[in-house]
Chain A
Amino acid sequence: MSFPWANEYTPKAPLMQWIDARLPLPRFVYNAVGAGYPVPRNLNFFWNFGVLSGLALMIQIVTGIVMAMHYGANELVAFGTVEHVMRDVNGGWLMRYAHANGASFFFIVVYLHIFRGLYYSSYKAPREMVWLLGLVIFLLMMATAFMGYVLPWGQMSYWGAKVITGLFGAIPVVGEPIQTWLLGGFAPGNAALNRFFSLHYLLPFVIAGVIILHIWALHIPGSSNPTGVEVKGPQDTVPFHPYYTAKDGFGAGIFFILLAIAVYFGPNFLGHPDNYIEANPLSTPAHIVPEWYFWPFYAILRAFTFDFFFIPAKLLGVLAMFASILLLFFLPWLDNSPVRSGNYRPMFKKFFWILIADVLVLGYCGGAPAEEPFVMISQVASAYYFAHFLIILPLIAAFEKPLPLPGSITEAVLAKHGQAAE
């Protein structure tokens, strides 16, 4: 939001004045991320992950476009051209490992971004639209990452494609025609590989478009902050530049160091060795698992091994998996507590950390084989996941007695640093 005390853009150089009078693009940038955009002064490092997500998308687009110059989307050569990138293309191994690990890092920062939003209730009024658009981005990210993983045409690529398109096959009546339509055949093959390549190229630009809406929606009310108390006056804010550009730059430095460690010293740590075996339509690997960032959802899918009235287990699992994400679209209306920040919500805080533990358990079970005790644990953990959002959150909102909120952001900051508020 442009608070009344935001700095005015006043170009001094004649060229900038000439541009500003015709296409005020520099003014737009100045008001969006420059000194013309005041931001709460108390943001902590959990507010770094939005910028880091954008950075991760840029890494993916740049390394992806570069690799598309050397990749062949044909089932006969795809696996070979990826090895060609690794062995022959100048620095190709770096591009590929940066792209593959970049996807993992993209999900790491986005999960932290989402959990920041959950803890500080960044989804509450007036920021519901920011949250909803964020979930759209998350769904697009998962679709994009899935199709990208198919392209090397390894074993996990092939069987991942079969299973994920099979999810649509679970829909009654129209399911199988949809699956056939998605694959362009009865099993993954050249047609599927070709179209996934085309769509894997397209979707990141759709994501970029939705990110613009996400930021636009954010800039109407402005950022939330760790106290959840809204900005009351100029003393509560500092200009985005240079204060938060510098802080985001610091976060980006840490991000790049960690990404470099992964790319240079453990490039295959987050991947699956079976994807170094070329796709074999006659044999599913015994230790098939999806990418780690899908594990919690995969665990929910696998937890439903029983029929429920007229709904077969297969459809139930698919519904539950999609519901686990779609549920989040209703979150702003499920949590009715007027207090935003988890810092002032003693009961909410406890259940928030139980939810985090629950999601980690789900993730662990999703990566484990489909055997006992993991099936039983994922059933309990899935039930808890849904209970948290559908039962526990509304109940907490009704019964919790929140701690007293600070009078303003500035008051909270001064109290933290041992000074009396003015």
Chain B
Amino acid sequence: MATLENTADEGVSAEGGGVRRRDFINIAAVSFAGVGGVVAVLPLVNQMNPSADVLAMASSEVDLSGIKPGQAIKTTFRSQPLFVRHLTPEEIAKADATDAATLRDPQTLADRVVDGKTQWLVTMGVCTHLGCVPLGAGEGENKGEFGGYFCPCHGSHYDTAGRIRKGPAPKNLEVPPYTFTSDTAILVG
């Protein structure tokens, strides 16, 4: 090797510390191929990200007038289930009686509802563990040990404010952004 390199001494630059033009060409060529490779791989990976039609955001209008105290409805928001629950005074009292500081994800009921509309609990129906739809919104479904929701997949229990109380889920049921458009209607999203 050494003898070969010595014969190529027209490529050795005086001040480059023995770095030849050929080394530069080598690095440039490999870098070029590397960048080209990354540029080729990026779209191959990115094609799996949500497509434009999936990203087309939707907002959902929900009419609350038919929901009696103690009832809940399931509807959809961005193709995922949304729970709207009309809390009874007892359920509100039960949620307020819990010391929020002792919870895994500390939040009071007031943090999770709109001021003056404490009876309307609007949450995503997506368990924060691995994404199943908890039971408890439908008539006669298992509401779990804390009277809210129970996830059948891995046994997470949520209370009447949709807060995680027991099981593997790390967070409270997510409250999506929504506004009251009238006393009996909300716009989610």
Contact = CB atoms under 8 A, between A and B. Distances in A.
B150 to A, nearest CB: 9
Given A185-B54, A307-B104, A371-B155, A282 B131 contact: no
Interface stretch (B12-20, B31-39, B72-80, B95-103): B72-80
B129 to A, nearest CB: 5
A300 to B, nearest CB: 12
Contacts of B168: 302, 304-305, 313-314, 317
Contacts of A169: 130-131
B135 interface: yes
Nearest to B55: A185
B177 to A, nearest CB: 15
A159 B132 contact: yes
Interface string A164-191: 0011011000000000111011110101
Interface stretch (B43-51, B60-68, B113-121, B180-188): B43-51
A181 B78 contact: no
B94 interface: no
A186 B124 CA distance: 13
B122 interface: no
A313 B170 contact: yes
Interface in A285-325: 285-288, 301-302, 304-305, 307, 312-315, 317
Q: Give the residue among A169, A282, A301 with the most B Cβ atoms within 10 A.
A: A282
A195 interface: yes
Given A281-B80, A313-B168, A314-B170, A163 B131 contact: yes
A361 interface: no
Given A302-B154, A302-B155, A284 B79 contact: no
Contact of B130 (A167, A182, A286, A371): A167
B162 interface: no
Given A191-B54, A313-B170, A284 B154 contact: no
Interface residues of B, number: 35
Interface centre among A169, A187, A189, A285, by most chain B C-beta atoms within 10 angstroms, is A187
A127 interface: no
Determine which residue in A159, A284, A285, A302 has the highest number of CB atoms from chain B within 10 A of its CB, and name it: A284
Interface in A174-230: 180-182, 184-187, 189, 191, 195
A281 B167 CA distance: 22
Contacts of A159: 132, 153
A369 B152 CA distance: 8
A141 interface: no
B154 A287 contact: no
A302 B74 CA distance: 26
A286 B152 contact: yes
Give 9 nearest A-B pairs by CB, closest first.
Answer: A370-B155, A166-B130, A284-B132, A312-B170, A284-B133, A163-B130, A313-B168, A166-B131, A185-B54
